[in-house]
Amino acid sequence: MGLAIGMKKQKIFHAGTTTNSEGEVVTNGGRVLSVNAVAKNMELARSVAYAGAKRISFKDVYMRNDIAKNVG
C-alpha cells in the first residue's frame, strides 16, 4: 500500500490493515482508510482531504467522491 509521506494537513485513520513480513502496512479487506482534514471552512477541508486521499494507492483501490459534496 502506498501511504503518502509528508502529509501535514491531513490525518489518515486505517482499519482493515495489517503488516506483512517486511513490516509494511498492507490491506486486509473491507474499508481500509479514512482521510480527514481541518480547514477554515468545509469546502476547503473537503478539498484538502481528497487531495491527500488521491496520494494513496494500492491494488484495487476504490475511493468515494461524494462525501461532503453538498456541504456549504
Q: What is the pLDDT of residue 70?
A: 83
Q: Does residue 2 have a pLDDT over 50?
A: no
Q: What is the pLDDT of residue 1?
A: 45
Does 66 reside within a domain?
no
Cα separation, 72 vs 34, in Å, equals 21
- What are the DSSP E strand ranges found in 1-72? 10-14, 17-19, 25-27, 33-37
Pure H helices in 6-68? 42-53
Three cell numbers written together for 47: 478539498
Helix (H, G, I), strand (E, B) or coil at 13: strand
Does 45 reside within a domain?
yes
Does 47 reside within a domain?
yes
Provide the number of structural domains found in the chain. Answer: 1
Q: Does residue 10 have a pLDDT over 80?
A: no
Does 27 reside within a domain?
yes
pLDDT tens digits for range 33-72: 888 888 888 888 898 889 888 888 888 888 888 888 887 6
Q: Does residue 26 have a pLDDT over 90?
A: no
Does 29 reside within a domain?
yes
